[in-house]
Structure 1
């Protein structure tokens, strides 16, 4: 009996020792691992950990994967934005509302102009420097048109690949041009709804004094003279107004292999509400706050322009058909015609170099 008690005591001692080693060794590795990092890196990681614990209250979309094979994107999103994941059959998506995101890069003084008339918000990927520079040297360089002040802001999220290097490049670019606004969501095609709603939130909170705003893609040609002529028409509404290329009776795509697939769990109707094609639409700036507020009541889905249309429908506003619908073109024939580009408001292009070439020709003396 004594031998049994002694053996039992030895077993308990060994177990406690083994348990202590199991606990202490990882802690020592963790502690020394932290000490081996620069203090700024440790602080950044700690801050990221704190952000991961935040509880998200409101629901707007941060679409990260539609099928299981997109698990890489899902993990990347979870680690960078820390938004709780819900699953609906084969879909996994993140809940998010614009106020859940903070601005990493911002321009706290640029939007303080009291006479600001039009803000051009350009969603662009972090790596698309060539597109940003092409805009800066063409229509983005026009700060006053028809005696009205215009401001251009590039909106972007977090880089996914080579994040540290790209983030530093963005910081230097911001210091040089002062036209970047970056928020802490992963920048991807499936997150365009998040990007659009962050744009709306930025306009509502940072530029409420602007009369109009435009969301315009980075691959677009924009004729500001024609746009300003439209906005300055006596019959153009100053409130509850949004116009562009109007889309009616567009069916929801249920094919899982499609880039535009939306499952019934996210949007149950077979057709989208009337909306404006996301390549470029202009609106009275009072709508920014209204869209953000009503979005809290609308289940999000990943087709950003149709989602804005759903917000407008809930508000009770219909998109306006422009006086000349042909001025908002959603295609480029591949052939440059000077008279055509002189008459449009927007046209999609194939490359940044095309924008520069066509712009230079359009502006040359005749």
Structure 2
């Protein structure tokens, strides 16, 4: 074969391969209609639509966070960014009061003081730590018990130390207990108990305290600071229980439950008393009241803040997700939002009774043996129930 025919053959083969490649690409974008004819899929609308701001303040702040976290969108954005999206307060001192909210929230002036305080400082996530326990997890614990408490609640903390929160070794596994506190500010008319708190901490070395106003709406701040603290001080914890200081926790039952988990189940663990299909309360008389000017929409599934149990791996992921979720004034709902951001949902476990058990069973020791958590319980009741469960001769049918 001469040189010219060989060149022609190469050209023909090359053209054939190019045509075949184009055919494959086009074929992938072709589908059949109901009559069996082939048709090309054409996008019905632009991939990036014009983003309109939500009327509710939290939803709008979350829109801003989502868009600023979207690197593709930000690289392809036009120069004329709408003012609501190009919020300069995002880069200002986030812990100074954000006075712009007074005009951005339509009914700001008529809101209760707790809402005004939350909105003014909603973007602040950094507060000085007053008391820390940098070496408490030097030996990474199997279970970290993290209890939300208030400065005046000494009796609750002491009852927990003497009962379900005993630190040390339980069922051949290490347990560490810490108490999470903010500051009891004079503005809330609290007596000065700082001297007693320092004495308590010097004796027990289990208090973590930050310098923020310890209010109901700031429990979300406590959550974010705690997730940050875990990464810095206790990242090796296998599992974490986080709950209130007025619950009884059956630590024996929790340890049995955790030891029975498979590897994948243990890694993605997040269990509690899960609430689904819930939305914000619009009744001003309810503790959980949220006005429409602040939030619209349903809540994601979330575990009641009385107490829930999750893995150390989830704690790391929650910490990362929390940086992409605007602070919300109800902490357990906020944690549900962070889980949704991760594509996860909490799992309901019947052992968590955040709304108590039937009254006729409350004085029966066996009623608590299969449960993980019961809410609420007084300090005296915690010690009593723990004594029941610690009896070696306790037998239940």
Q: Same fold (TM over 0.5)?
A: yes
- Is 1:353 the equivalent of 2:353? no
- 1:298 shift after superposition: 2.0
Candidates 341, 356, 361, aligned match of 1:331: 356
Do the aligned residues in 1 keep the contact of 2:168 with 2:175 (CA within 8 Å)? yes
Which range moved further: 209-218 or 341-350? 341-350
Partner of 2:278: 250
Do the aligned residues in 2 keep the contact of 1:266 with 1:300 (CA within 8 Å)? no
Partner of 1:169: 196
Partner of 2:147: 122
Please give the alpha-carbon distance, in whole angstroms, between the structure 2 residues aligned to 1:125 and 1:134: 14
Candidates 141, 160, 165, aligned match of 1:135: 160
Which TM-score applies when normalising by structure 2? 0.67
- Is 1:105 the equivalent of 2:131? yes
Q: Which runs of 5+ in 2 are unaligned?
A: 1-60, 63-94, 109-114
Please give the alpha-carbon distance, in whole angstroms, between the structure 1 residues aligned to 2:233 and 2:334: 22
Please give the alpha-carbon distance, in whole angstroms, between the structure 2 residues aligned to 1:231 and 1:313: 24
Do the aligned residues in 2 keep the contact of 1:157 with 1:182 (CA within 8 Å)? yes
Please give the alpha-carbon distance, in whole angstroms, between the structure 1 residues aligned to 2:303 and 2:139: 29
Describe the shift of the 1:97–1:312 C-alpha distance in structure 2 as closer, same or farther (beyond 3 A): farther
Describe the shift of the 1:329–1:297 C-alpha distance in structure 2 as closer, same or farther (beyond 3 A): closer
> What secondary structure does 1:245 align onto?
strand
Do the aligned residues in 2 keep the contact of 1:329 with 1:344 (CA within 8 Å)? no
Do the aligned residues in 2 keep the contact of 1:262 with 1:301 (CA within 8 Å)? no
Please give the alpha-carbon distance, in whole angstroms, between the structure 1 residues aligned to 2:136 and 2:123: 27
Partner of 1:185: 212
1:12-42 Cα offsets, whole Å, 9 max, x none, are xxxxxxxxxxxxxxxxxxxxxxxxxxxxxxx
Query: RMSD of the TM alignment (CA)?
Result: 2.2
> What secondary structure does 1:276 align onto?
strand
Describe the shift of the 1:201–1:319 C-alpha distance in structure 2 as closer, same or farther (beyond 3 A): same
Partner of 1:268: 296
The alignment covers a number of residue pairs equal to 283
Which TM-score applies when normalising by structure 1? 0.72
Candidates 158, 175, 185, aligned match of 1:160: 185
Q: Which runs of 5+ in 1 are unaligned?
A: 1-58, 61-80
1:37-88 Cα offsets, whole Å, 9 max, x none, are xxxxxxxxxxxxxxxxxxxxxx89xxxxxxxxxxxxxxxxxxxx75545332
Describe the shift of the 1:263–1:300 C-alpha distance in structure 2 as closer, same or farther (beyond 3 A): farther
